[in-house]
A and B are shown apart, each in its own frame.
Chain A
Amino acid sequence: MKRTVLATLAALGLSTAAIAQDLTVGYIYPAPVADVGWAKQLDLGREAVEAAYGDRVASVVVDSVPEGPDAARVMNQMVSDGAKFLMLGSFGYMNDGIKLGRKHPDIAMIHASGFKQTDNFGTFTARNYEGFYLAGMAAGMKTQSNVIGLVGAFPIPELVAEVNAITLAAQSVNPDVQVKIVWINTWFDPPKAQEAARALVSQGADVLFSLHQDTPSVVTVAENEGVWVVNTGSDMREYAPTKLLVSVTNDWTDYFVREVV
């Protein structure tokens, strides 16, 4: 008990020291901040950080930053403008972030869903596969054609883990379930995501998963075609009022508030 109290005090002492001076936090999102989607969930984290620390933190936000040279340029700009802490909101910012960290050992970065870390470059990710396991069970129980269709963005480790979780979960409740997946190989092409969704429906899928499609693309197809849909990111009930089975969402607010300290 005593040790816990001491540890807490020490942690508090450290935090106060760290936030005594103003801190500029840079946020980079891969997509526009809309009412829903991945970028929106990250931006809710930024709002929580601002609410928690008030005037002591300043935020710089750039959204719709394509992965690649543009991202590197935005990061460099933020650091030269005085940002000491960066939140890199997309997988493809990883290598540029690590390079930046080597050049500027005094800054710290958190990066979404990557697989490389250094002293000042950390990875944050959720155990999304746990949420998807539950969603997969729901889908496995709900399907009547025994075909579940997945529209995936890119076959990166995180998404592959989710696909595996969905498959294992659906088969745990319904051994006959077959999972079909279409990778569209882009984070952002709503019409293509919809074509993929329709392709899956034509192949008998009666439960669709929208894996990291930031827009309600797949969700609207499901509503129009009358099949169930599971969404990633934000709650998209309003886009498929009768057909949204469940949404797997991320709440980053507490984590961002803790990390910025």
Chain B
Amino acid sequence: MTETLTFLLSGTLLAGTPLLIAALGELVTEKSGILNLSVEGMMAVGAIFAFMVVTGGGSYWVALAAGGMAALVVAALFAVVVIFTLANQVAAGLAVGILGLGLAGLIGDPFEAQTVPPMPKLPIPGLAGLPVLGRGLFDHVPVVYLAPVLALATWLMLTRTRLGLLLRSAGENPDAANSIGINVRFVRFCATLYGGFCAGVAGGFISVVSATLWADGIIAGRGWIVVALVVFGTWRAGRIAIGAYLFGLATLSGLLVQTTGVAIPSQLLTSIPYIVTIVAIALLSMNPKLTWLNAPVSLGQPYLPTK
């Protein structure tokens, strides 16, 4: 029983961390008014670059940063297309996402099905010795502890700082922002690059920290979950964090229930996380105050500054 609980806690953190990191990046991007649907592709690019760095003998931190930078380059391509040439954000996002997936597969071909050693864990002194909770929550790689900190920092940045105000104004009412001298396109460009960086770090986390292997298609749809999580969390960092860990927990519970041999079809169990996501989004959307209070008004709309 304690083993089960430990597994649920530690597994939830491990599965939720990359989702949370990427979703917080996407949140910042969307708050600035840009809908980036290429998260899946950016995560794949981040995953292969991080993997190459670790395979080449680099440290895990350098690897995650490299994954982030590689995905940032992909995001830059998307940003130029949608911000400066005013392309449709949905179409461009899908195209760049598919490009990223293909690029990752191409670059990763020589590394297919290779593995790397796991990242060393950093047990938190004192807390890691607790029964159940210790090994479940406080015996992880450092990145796992940093993800909730990033959520808190993102919330503070968006709601309590001038930078957050700049971002939000670009996403709410770019005309008004422009009229008081904010360079809307520059703000949106930076926010998109930041979102790409986060997606790359998240992808790198999957390939070098949690899975410790590279295989084409390793992201397996998690990039889409990230996009859904931002809506699920109604554009609020705290709710997104809850959503990311809930999704991890729901996936693991489905697997765990199967090990007990309960006669529920496995197909139903594996679809539970997705059903939960759909139902939650539907319920949240029934209350417009919850959703549209935080949704950026100009999300997805191209902006051409007036002189």
List the interface of chain A (C-beta within 8 A of B). Answer: 32-37, 64, 149, 155, 180-186, 188-192, 194-196, 198-204, 214-217, 220, 224, 239
Contact across chains for B218 and A203 when beta carbons are under 8 A apart: no
Q: What is the bound-complex CA distance between A204 and B266, given in angstroms?
A: 20
**A188, A195, A203, A216, most chain B CB atoms within 10 A:** A195
Contact across chains for B11 and A195 when beta carbons are under 8 A apart: yes
Listed stretches B84-92, B146-154, B188-196, B254-262; interface member:
B254-262
Q: How far is the CB of B251 from chain A (nearest CB, A)?
A: 7
B291 within 8 A of A: no
Q: How far is the CB of A130 from chain B (nearest CB, A)?
A: 25
- Nearest residue (CB) in B for A151 is B255
Q: What 1/0 mask marks residues of chain B from 160 to 200 whose CB sits below 8 Å from any chain A CB?
A: 00000000000000000000000000000000000000000
Q: What is the bound-complex CA distance between A27 and B114, given in angstroms?
A: 24
19 A–B contacts, CB within 8 A, in A order:
A64-B217, A182-B259, A183-B258, A185-B270, A188-B217, A188-B220, A191-B220, A192-B251, A192-B255, A195-B251, A199-B11, A199-B255, A199-B259, A202-B4, A214-B113, A214-B215, A215-B113, A215-B213, A220-B212
Contact across chains for A199 and B105 when beta carbons are under 8 A apart: no
Q: What is the bound-complex CA distance between A224 and B118, given in angstroms?
A: 8
Q: What 1/0 mask marks residues of chain B from 249 to 287 whose CB sits below 8 Å from any chain A CB?
A: 001100110111100001100100000000000000000
Contact across chains for B113 and A185 when beta carbons are under 8 A apart: no
B294 within 8 A of A: no
Contacts of A182 in B (CB 8 A): 255, 258-259, 266
Contacts of B15 in A (CB 8 A): 191, 195
Q: A155-B266, A191-B220, A216-B115 are in contact. Are A200 and B259 (CB under 8 A)?
A: yes
- Beyond A35-B112, A195-B251, 9 extra complex contacts between A and B, CB < 8 Å: A34-B112, A182-B255, A182-B258, A183-B258, A195-B15, A202-B4, A204-B3, A215-B213, A217-B211
Contact across chains for A203 and B259 when beta carbons are under 8 A apart: yes
Contacts of B210 in A (CB 8 A): 191, 194
Q: What is the bound-complex CA distance between A36 and B112, given in angstroms?
A: 9
Contacts of B54 in A (CB 8 A): none
Chain B interface size band reads 35 or more
List the interface of chain B (C-beta within 8 A of A). Answer: 3-4, 6-7, 11, 15, 105, 109, 112-115, 118, 206, 210-213, 215-218, 220-222, 251-252, 255-256, 258-261, 266-267, 270
Task: Select which of B3, B11, B105 is within 8 A of A32 by beta carbon.
Answer: B105
Task: Select which of B3, B112, B260, B270 is within 8 A of A183 by beta carbon.
Answer: B270
Contacts of B270 in A (CB 8 A): 183-186
Contacts of A199 in B (CB 8 A): 7, 11, 252, 255-256, 258-259
Contacts of B118 in A (CB 8 A): 224
Q: How far is the CB of B105 from chain A (nearest CB, A)?
A: 7
- Nearest residue (CB) in B for A215 is B215
Contacts of A201 in B (CB 8 A): 7
Task: Select which of B115, B221, B255, B267 is within 8 A of A196 by beta carbon.
Answer: B255
Contacts of A217 in B (CB 8 A): 211, 213
- Nearest residue (CB) in A for B218 is A190
Q: How far is the CB of B11 from chain A (nearest CB, A)?
A: 6
Q: What is the bound-complex CA distance between A124 and B63, given in angstroms?
A: 43
Contact across chains for A220 and B213 when beta carbons are under 8 A apart: yes
